[in-house]
Homo-oligomer: A and B are copies of this chain.
């Protein structure tokens, strides 16, 4: 177990050639006879030789390593993004150095220094909300790509979920299934996701000649708020036939409260959530129609664009990534005059 690992010198010696030839043989370069190459390869496998990545990196200046700087892994959104990114990097034979700054700017600075001293080839910054975050691109001599939370500098490369589009998708689905009096319950106003979606909803309703039922109810991202808002809404908007909820938790709360008030979902009221958080959206009764922001794909795409940026082909700007509508039971078509 503690036996020294074989170097290319050992391989060359065993194969009876020089180090240079061994290197060329193993790296598929020309100028080496087929028989010689086989000799070297055999020697390498026999010694289970693996080139020292440090020495390679020292020489080439490339480490084939990227830093993954996440601001808060406890939250729900960073993980899938990170997962998608990790997957893309793994396929590209890149290694991922993971750093969780826990939303602390000091920790973030510390980690940036650490990553740079390790000579990462690039950096991917994963946020926890879609609110823009401070750019670090200018402080760093390698390409940076932002995922989920965009950089506040529009010249940087950012990938964000298309919240406005997701909301449009949802509302079009509600309208297509015969709903006309649609309300909106969502999280706090200082979340860009909440206001973006509100814009999408109002735009889509407008195009259909409809209006939002009541005012947008801004609150919290919790089930508790979903219940509370449901109580208010069911009282004030008796003719309500659909509600768009800012996340699946709010939707779950709404469904719960609606049933307690004797309203049937989806027969009386259709409910649509956001995030497609499956532990919730598949456990509500009825199961929850929701918008899936496809975060894993977002992370994957961001990683691929970091590759491109490392190769000098950056694509600046804030890129909106499409969302998907996942139809379950909470939005079955209403049957008017039944």
Q: In the complex the two chains form, what is the Cα distance from A224 to B284 in whole Å?
A: 9
A234 within 8 A of B: no
Q: Least Cβ distance of A87 to chain B in Å?
A: 7
- Given the known inter-chain contacts A54-B58, A95-B114, A283-B223, please indicate yes or no for A73 contacting B79, CB distance below 8 A: yes
- Given the known inter-chain contacts A96-B97, A98-B86, please indicate yes or no for A249 contacting B53, CB distance below 8 A: no
> Is A50 touching B86 in the complex (CB atoms < 8 A)?
no
A20 within 8 A of B: no
Q: Give A114's nearest chain B residue, CB to CB.
A: B95
A51 / chain B contacts, CB cutoff of 8 Å: 117
Partner of A5, one of B113, B118, B141: B141
A-B pairs with beta carbons under 8 Å apart, 30 shown = A2-B141, A3-B141, A5-B141, A51-B117, A52-B58, A52-B119, A53-B117, A53-B119, A54-B63, A54-B119, A55-B58, A58-B58, A65-B97, A65-B118, A68-B98, A73-B86, A79-B79, A83-B100, A86-B98, A86-B99, A93-B114, A95-B97, A96-B97, A96-B99, A97-B98, A98-B98, A224-B283, A249-B279, A249-B283, A253-B283
16 additional A-B residue pairs with CB within 8 Å, beyond A50-B117, A90-B111, A95-B115: A1-B138, A50-B116, A53-B118, A65-B97, A65-B118, A86-B99, A86-B100, A87-B100, A90-B100, A90-B107, A93-B114, A95-B97, A96-B98, A98-B98, A222-B283, A223-B283
